[in-house]
Amino acid sequence: MKVLKFGGTSVGSVDNILNVKKIVEAIDEPVIVVVSAFGGVTDQLLYTSKLASQGDMSYQKELDDIMDRHLNLINDVVPAIEQSHVLQQTSTMLEELENIFRGVYLIKDLSQKTSDTIVSYGERLSSYIISFVINGSKLYDARLFIKTVKQFQKHIVDFEMTNRLIKEMFATLPKVALIPGFISSSKDTGDVTNLGRGGSDYTASILAAALNASILEIWTDVDGFMTADPKMISSAYVIDRLSFIEAMELCNFGAKVIYPPTIYPVYHKNIPILIRNTFNPDAPGTFISNEQDTGKNKATIRGISSIDNTCLVTVQGLGMVGVIGVNKRIFRALADNGISVFMVSQASSENNTTFAIKNEEADLAVRVLNEEFALERAQGEINDMVIKKDLATVAIVGEFMKNTPGIAGKLFGTLGRAGISVIACAQGASEINISFVIKKKYLRKALNSIHDSFFLSEYKMLNLFIIGVGTVGGHLLEQIEHQQQKLMKQNGVKLNVIGIADINKILMRREGLDLKTCIRDLYASGLDSSPELIIDEILQMNIFNAVFVDCTASDDIAGLYETLLNNNISVVAANKIAASSMYKKYALLKETARKRGIKFLFETNVGAGLPIINTMNDLINSGDHIFKLEAVLSGTLNYIFNTISEDIPLSRAISMAVDARYAEPDPRIDLSGTDVIRKLVILAREAGCEVEQSDVKTNLILPEKYFEGSLEDFWKQIPALDAEFEEKRKKLAVKEKRLRFVASMHDGVCQVGPVEVGSHHPFYELEGSNNIIMISTERYHDYPMVIKGYGAGAEVTAAGVFADIISIANIR
Ligand code: ADP
Ligand code: ASP
Ligand code: MG
């Protein structure tokens, strides 16, 4: 014999009820079917009670809605010949309910007993109606055999009497016994009671255990027990098998898929539980039994669950140290007042005991403990109780955690990288569950980070904010779109662009933007942008594995990095401003990233897509020492020197560089070497030198006066230098030499300026706007390491930014 339970979600609509009929009628052995109230009805009954008890007339509208819903369903699901009878009986029940509500409304009072009576109608109505839908079913009244006694403010099952009554009632079984879940009655008074919210699961379990069913099937709206609540974590997936203990640990901590007390009766009788999906009956579901999973899914962590209603109470005082019996008094006082404690943590100094309870029980807990320890408080041995509300408790669960080192390390490391601080934690010696308490506002982020870190065998997720969607940012978006599928398949990395912005507009979506249309969407529906709004939106989103990608050249955007890093958001910058600003600032950003276990990367700041900074870091990290750097780092200047010829004078070469978009619109920024100085400063710093831009000795290629006036003056004056430059070039050509604008660092001394290089020098053959860098180190001494290639261009820069992003995915 089997017991099947269908939850409110499974009996929410006509189609769902017909699904249930199909599932039950296909079974060819006796079954007990337990049903919940129609989906949402329990909530609606409680809400209507509240309105009525407050004297709010709108309760009537809610009630009408409840009544209509039941009566309409009858028309759709009950066979025609029985409809009038069922409608009549149902109307009688609904009239009783209406009378109770009227009473509540008139006297504006809602006792526990009345409230229990009202909610019982949910299951009474649903089971009555469904008993006419499933062929051959016989309806039973659960109040006749599920008996409760009162303990503190709760009704708990009297198993002795309940088991006896069930056995009597079901001495012979019909083909389908249909039973309302959730409801029960008091052993002493006979009044209707219930087993608590979600209690239909428990009804089913009690029946299965009392009658030695072969299996308890819980039919709901998900494919099974999942690694986490699918409403919180979209990538949660179904766990095929769980042990009773694991299931108990998970549902005790909020995995709503099973009501926690449900496990115990069947566990005791070793009756397995199968979680199945009413809407997808072909899915295998989750099998819960006393066997440990030894199959391929032997993951150390089986699931994560959480409770957001958490308050921590701390009893503290030097007078507690070494005194026997303080904990006994704490827990006795709480128990005597019916306060349930779900997590305890005590430091080995015994100086304090912290425990977790529900927010609504906090004030009572503090009152009873203050009374309990009144004497000690008066003597200063114990301080006043400290409470922290609005917290959340998270548990990670798995039987294989036992004897596996490093789980707690990985857990807390993950939380640390996400910038989430753990307020209290507990792990029992059974090593099946590690629980910890955090601020409620971090719950979603914590669950996602942990799930990503422990479960996502399929892929790791990175959430990207891309600021600046011009040439570099635009190419980056295209490249991400192009690579997205391949990265997921081959590298197990999922890049989710959740925000883009430029100087005018900003667009953020937690679930990710459509890369095909996002730039259009940005201008169509983005908010007006500002650096303040960008940072506010990002921090508010409070999302895990976040990366801020700066494809602007903006000072204001670079000014956001410190806050971002301090909120554990990695930064990838194509923007050179931060890394080349004051040394102190650069060092602070790097240090902040290091301390927080995240990344601040700016490979493209020098040489665009060329692997310069990473290569230098690899050399240094492996114990080498860089003592000399020589490089051509300005694409513009190299282009100009390569272009000047008999036919093309300096002034023309400069305007050609502007036209080809190598140079800035004001080419003096390139000609003055400002850009090269920035790049050199970054390289020297990465090589280990503490330098500022002002430390770089600069030899200009043009006399100072050409930089002074307006841009117009510049274009007017510059042809005056044409002849001189051509003369110089010719002279050099005769000697087989060329001019290069070289940046160098030698033992910490930095300079930039024009250098004449001979035909054997590696810089002699440097085409177009290419860059080259020679790195001399202790290991690469006689023959320096040389890196050469395109040093500018949106496409290669975007590719370099992309590579930085990927390297962040790989550190997790
Ligand atoms: P029913 O009405 O069938 O009793 P519930 O709403 O009580 O259904 O429970 C099913 C819901 O539990 C799912 O829709 C899901 O959102 C939630 N849930 C929370 N944690 C988990 C989990 N770990 N696995 C599956 N579902 C979960
Ligand atoms: N109808 C009850 C509730 O919503 C019991 C249940 O669905 O399990 O809490
Ligand atoms: Mg439920």
200 CA to centre of ligand 1 in angstroms? 13
pLDDT 10s digits, 377-401 = 888 888 888 899 999 999 999 888 8
Please tell me the predicted confidence (pLDDT) of residue 768.
84
- Nearest ligand 1 atom to the CA of 201 is 4
pLDDT at 456 over 70: no
Ligand nearest to the CA of 305: 1
Tokens of 158: 């009297």
**7 ligand 1 Cβ < 6 A:** yes
**230 ligand 1 Cβ < 6 A:** yes
Per the CB < 8 A criterion, the answer to whether 262 and 204 are in contact is yes
Q: What is the mean pLDDT of residues 532-561?
A: 95
**228 ligand 1 Cβ < 6 A:** yes
Tokens of 174: 């019909």
Angle among Cα 643, 646, 647 to the nearest 5 degrees reads 75
pLDDT 10s digits, 632-649 = 999 899 999 999 999 999
Percent of the chain at pLDDT > 70 equals 98
Helix (H) or strand (E) holding 267: helix 263-269
Residue type, 291: E
pLDDT band at 405 (very low <50, low <70, confident <90, very high): confident
**229 ligand 1 Cβ < 6 A:** yes
Alpha carbon nearest to ligand 1 atom 21, residue: 229
**246 ligand 1 Cβ < 6 A:** no
pLDDT 10s digits, 121-141 = 999 999 999 999 999 999 999
**Distance, CA of 794 to CA of 477 (rounded, Å):** 12
CB atoms within 10 A of CB 294: 9
197 CA to centre of ligand 3 in angstroms? 8
**Distance, CA of 388 to CA of 590 (rounded, Å):** 34
Per the CB < 8 A criterion, the answer to whether 798 and 483 are in contact is no
Alpha carbon nearest to ligand 1 atom 11, residue: 257
**Distance, CA of 279 to CA of 684 (rounded, Å):** 63
Q: Pick the catalytic residue: 5, 187, 679, 788?
A: 679
Angle among Cα 11, 17, 22 to the nearest 5 degrees reads 130
Residue type, 86: V
Per the CB < 8 A criterion, the answer to whether 105 and 54 are in contact is no
- Tell me which residues have their CB closer than 6 angstroms to ligand 2: 7-8, 36-37, 42, 122, 181-182, 197-201
Using DSSP's 3-state secondary structure scheme, residue 509 falls into: coil
pLDDT 10s digits, 202-231 = 999 999 999 999 999 999 999 999 999 998
5 CA to centre of ligand 3 in angstroms? 10
Pick the closest to residue 674 from 613, 752, 745, 736 (CA basis). 752
- Nearest ligand 1 atom to the CA of 7 is 3
675 CA to centre of ligand 1 in angstroms? 58
Q: Is 61 a catalytic residue?
A: no
Helix 650-659 / helix 722-734 crossing angle, nearest 10 deg: 100
199 CA to centre of ligand 3 in angstroms? 7
Ligand nearest to the CA of 181: 2
Per the CB < 8 A criterion, the answer to whether 25 and 52 are in contact is no
**Distance, CA of 326 to CA of 309 (rounded, Å):** 26
Residues in the chain: 812
Please tell me the predicted confidence (pLDDT) of residue 812.
42
- Nearest ligand 2 atom to the CA of 36 is 7
**411 ligand 1 Cβ < 6 A:** no
Using DSSP's 3-state secondary structure scheme, residue 132 falls into: coil
Please tell me the predicted confidence (pLDDT) of residue 253.
84
Alpha carbon nearest to ligand 2 atom 8, residue: 198
**598 ligand 1 Cβ < 6 A:** no
Residues facing residue 741 across a β-bridge: 754
**800 ligand 1 Cβ < 6 A:** no
pLDDT at 48 over 50: yes
Residues facing residue 610 across a β-bridge: none
Helix (H) or strand (E) holding 116: helix 112-131
Ligand nearest to the CA of 224: 1
DSSP string across 383-448: PPPEEEEEEEEEEEE-GGGTT-TTHHHHHHHHHHHTT----EEEE-TT-SEEEEEEEGGGHHHHHH
DSSP string across 200-243: HHHHHHHHHHHTT-SEEEEEESSSS-BSS-TTT-TT--B-SEEE
Alpha carbon nearest to ligand 2 atom 5, residue: 198
Please tell me the predicted confidence (pLDDT) of residue 217.
98
588 CA to centre of ligand 2 in angstroms? 54
For tokens 């910038």, name the residue. 419
**Using the 8-state DSSP alphabet, how is residue 341 labeled?**
P
Per the CB < 8 A criterion, the answer to whether 750 and 691 are in contact is yes
Please give the order of strands across the beta sheet that includes 527-528. 527-528, 505-508, 493-501, 460-467, 546-550, 570-573, 600-601
Phi and psi at residue 582, to the nearest 5°? -50, 140
Q: Is the pTM of this model over 0.85?
A: no
- Nearest ligand 2 atom to the CA of 196 is 9
pLDDT 10s digits, 266-304 = 999 999 999 999 999 999 999 999 987 665 555 678 899
Angle among Cα 639, 641, 645 to the nearest 5 degrees reads 110
Residues facing residue 628 across a β-bridge: 746, 776
Helix (H) or strand (E) holding 192: strand 192-194
DSSP string across 467-496: E--SHHHHHHHHHHHHHHHHIIIII-EEEE
**DSSP 3-state percent helix, strand, coil across the chain (nearest 5):** 45, 20, 35
Ligand nearest to the CA of 182: 2
CA torsion through residues 447, 453, 457, 459, sign: positive
Alpha carbon nearest to ligand 2 atom 9, residue: 197
Using DSSP's 3-state secondary structure scheme, residue 247 falls into: helix
pLDDT 10s digits, 592-628 = 999 998 999 999 999 988 999 999 999 999 999 999 9
pLDDT at 243 over 60: yes
